[in-house]
């Protein structure tokens, strides 16, 4: 039974014949999500579906064959194709498991994943997929004998094979141009599903962007000066800016969600919850730098953002005390010029277990930290929040309000109800965390305090077989882009800033975005600079006469 297979492994192969075999391997075994999407798209036209699918199959196979004909040279092709096998196995696993699309931002997420996130994602199913579709084919490839001719003869034969492959590719492309070009234009997600092109192109774009960062950081906002717009009362003014993680606006009961996910914040009452806020990106690596850059989503450029200072630097130019407390995987370069208190690896048994800490660890000694501020300032708290897929690890047992919950990172093993329960518990815990922070701020006697909370992006919870986040923005569902945002101001801070909570409550239905954060923080802290844009400051019209940049 195994003799034919064994003979295949021992019989020397010619490279020009191996190329189409490897191409078929990638097309058939590593592109199940791509062909599933193609089938769903073409199902609307059963009569022409088989023709479109056949043309797509021939076109992709011919293209892969041509590329492999160019690559199959001694000492090069085995390690290269082995890497492609492992990468393709990983890409297909995540696409099938979570419904994600692979682009440069998703590759960035891979490079910036911390060990805790790797542990959450690494499951037996993932290990099996990498082993069976990645490592095993790579081992077989290294054992497969390939016969190469003398250099000149091999070059001649290979050039002929390349020409033949190119002719076939052009022929198929011309035959199917009208149907396939329209299909690709109308269904842009297909380009992010085609393995291994998706992760090769994504990696190339990410590395090009990453290494394009100049060594000199351009300063911005050097003209920043602070003068609080309201009436001084002799106290320091400190704004606590909470950057949320993976929170969906439609799961906040403050915004109308039927479940009581925000009971503690609702009892506080004296805050403004903004119901119509949209993120800059669908992953932290985009949204976090974008919201602090001041560029706005339409003009945001990651390379430029890394090449210049951001909101936190501008605040420091205005002589404000700026600090960052972290319980996440990192600040994506935003906080590199700040004092950072990383609480994510604390060993405090009250807040931490299994190498991770709950967000309340950032509130430890908050009162003492506020008192220690040298003057007016901004304190950023970066949450772990609702980061998936291990939602059940993001909150203490006391906050498991909604049951039963999904207790695995393999979300497809759970029904949507149990996934939603676990996720809603993370929102319930964020409610507690924010309410606790506000209660501590309200109790501060020697500081005028305020809190602004906004999530970096949302999350998909299995709707349409899509999980997690990071879908290209133009294709992403609202669940990944519509985010919660709220503001609480102590009476003293309202007096000092000239912005009342009542006025902010009148703006809670306005369409806002991460674009507003940069200018709203400047406004609340009374910072004037040429960078300031009053139309993007949520509180500008609340101050008597607005404010001048």
**Can you give the residue ranges of every domain in the chain?**
3-210, 225-542
Distance CA 311, CA 531 (A): 10
What is the full DSSP assignment across 149-166?
A: --HHHHHHHHHHHHHHHH
Distance CA 62, CA 174 (A): 13
pLDDT, position 451: 99
pLDDT, position 160: 87
Distance CA 2, CA 350 (A): 58
pLDDT, position 9: 57
For the four alpha carbons of 299, 302, 308 and 314, in that order, the dihedral sign comes to: positive
> Exposure pattern of 260-270 as b/e (b: 16+ CB <10 Å)?
ebbebbeeeee
Distance CA 223, CA 151 (A): 66
Any idea what the Cα angle at residue 469 is, between residues 465 and 471, rounded to 5°?
80
Nearest to 95 by CA among 172, 239, 196, 232: 196
Q: At what angle do helices 15-29 and 77-98 cross, to 10 degrees?
A: 10
Q: From residue 125, how far is each of 89, 260, 436 by CA, in Å?
A: 12, 35, 39
* Homologous superfamily (CATH) for 225-542: Alkaline Phosphatase, subunit A (3.40.720.10)
pLDDT, position 73: 82
pLDDT, position 549: 43
pLDDT per residue, tens digit, the chain (549 aa), is: 445 545 555 677 777 788 889 999 999 999 999 999 999 888 877 777 888 899 899 999 999 999 998 888 888 889 999 999 999 999 999 999 998 999 988 898 888 877 777 888 888 899 999 999 999 999 999 988 887 777 788 778 878 888 988 998 898 888 877 778 778 878 888 999 999 999 999 999 888 877 776 668 899 999 999 998 777 788 999 999 999 999 999 999 999 999 999 999 999 989 999 999 999 999 999 999 999 999 999 999 998 999 999 999 999 999 999 999 999 988 999 999 999 999 988 888 888 887 889 999 999 999 999 999 989 999 999 999 999 999 999 999 999 999 999 999 999 899 999 999 999 999 999 999 999 999 999 999 899 999 999 999 999 999 999 999 999 999 999 999 999 999 999 999 999 999 999 999 999 999 999 999 999 999 999 999 999 999 999 999 998 644 444
The whole-model pTM stands at: 0.88
Number of Cβ within 10 Å of residue 96's Cβ equals 16
Task: Please give the backbone phi and psi of residue 484, each rounded to the nearest 5 degrees, phi first.
Answer: -80, 150
Rg over alpha carbons for the chain, rounded to the nearest Å, is 27
Which pair of tokens denotes residue 249? Answer: 């606006």
Three-class SS of residue 275?
Answer: strand
pLDDT, position 546: 45
pLDDT, position 108: 87
Residues 292, 280 contacting (CB under 8 angstroms): no
Distance CA 71, CA 425 (A): 51
Report CA dihedral (464, 469, 472, 473) to the nearest 10 degrees.
90
Residues in CB range of 465: below 8 A, 6 or more apart: 99
Three-class SS of residue 77?
Answer: helix
pLDDT, position 547: 44
Task: Please give the backbone phi and psi of residue 483, each rounded to the nearest 5 degrees, phi first.
Answer: -125, 155
Residues 453, 274 contacting (CB under 8 angstroms): no
Nearest to 362 by CA among 327, 322, 394: 327
């Amino acid at each position: 039974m195994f003799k034919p297979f064994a003979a295949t492994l021992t019989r020397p192969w010619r490279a020009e014949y191996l190329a189409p075999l490897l191409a078929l391997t990638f097309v058939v075994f590593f592109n199940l999500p791509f062909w599933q999407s193609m089938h769903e798209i073409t199902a609307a036209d059963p009569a022409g579906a088989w023709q479109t699918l056949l043309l797509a199959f021939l076109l992709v196979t011919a293209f892969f064959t041509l590329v492999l004909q160019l690559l199959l040279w001694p000492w090069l092709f085995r390690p290269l194709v082995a890497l492609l096998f492992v990468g393709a196995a990983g890409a297909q696993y995540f696409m099938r498991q979570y419904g994600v699309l692979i682009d440069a931002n998703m590759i960035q997420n891979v490079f910036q994943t911390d060990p805790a996130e790797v542990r959450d994602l690494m499951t037996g199913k993932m290990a099996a997929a990498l082993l069976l579709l990645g490592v095993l084919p790579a081992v077989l490839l290294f054992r497969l004998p390939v016969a190469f001719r003398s250099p000149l003869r091999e070059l001649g034969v290979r050039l002929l094979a390349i020409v033949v492959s190119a002719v076939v590719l052009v022929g198929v492309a011309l035959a199917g141009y009208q149907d396939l070009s329209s299909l690709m234009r109308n269904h842009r997600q297909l380009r992010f599903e085609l393995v291994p092109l998706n992760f090769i192109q994504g990696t190339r774009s990410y590395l090009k962007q990453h290494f394009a960062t100049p060594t000199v950081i351009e300063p911005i906002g050097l003209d920043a000066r602070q003068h609080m717009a309201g009436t001084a009362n002799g106290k320091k003014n400190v704004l606590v800016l909470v950057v949320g993680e993976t929170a969906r606006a439609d799961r906040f009961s403050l915004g109308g969600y039927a479940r009581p996910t925000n009971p503690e914040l609702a009892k506080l009452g004296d805050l403004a919850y903004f119901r119509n806020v949209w993120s800059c990106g669908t992953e932290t690596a985009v949204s976090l730098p974008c919201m602090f850059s001041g560029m706005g989503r339409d003009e945001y450029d990651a390379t430029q953002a890394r090449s210049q200072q951001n909101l936190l630097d501008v605040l420091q130019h205005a002589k404000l005390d700026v600090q960052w407390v972290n319980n996440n995987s990192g600040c994506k370069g935003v906080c590199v010029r700040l004092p950072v208190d990383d609480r994510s690896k604390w060993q405090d048994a009250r807040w931490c277990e299994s190498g991770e800490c709950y967000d309340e660890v950032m509130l430890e000694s908050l009162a003492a930290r506020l008192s220690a501020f040298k003057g007016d300032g901004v304190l950023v708290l970066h949450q772990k929040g609702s980061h998936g897929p291990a939602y059940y690890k993001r909150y203490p047992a006391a906050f498991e309000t909604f049951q039963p919950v999904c207790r695995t990172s393999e979300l497809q093993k759970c029904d949507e109800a149990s996934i939603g329960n676990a996720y809603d518990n993370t929102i319930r815990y964020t409610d507690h965390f924010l309410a606790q922070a506000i209660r501590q701020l309200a109790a501060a006697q020697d500081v005028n305090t305020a809190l602004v909370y906004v999530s970096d992006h949302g999350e998909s919870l299995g709707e349409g077989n899509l999980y997690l986040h990071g879908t290209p923005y133009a294709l992403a569902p609202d669940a990944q882009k519509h985010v919660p945002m709220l503001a609480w101001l102590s009476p003293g801070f309202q007096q000092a800033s000239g912005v009342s909570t009542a006025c902010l409550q009148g703006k809670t239905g306005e369409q806002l975005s991460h674009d507003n954060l940069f200018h709203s923080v400047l406004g609340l802290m009374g910072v004037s600079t040429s960078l300031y844009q009053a139309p993007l400051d949520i509180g500008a019209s609340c101050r008597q006469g607005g404010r001048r940049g």
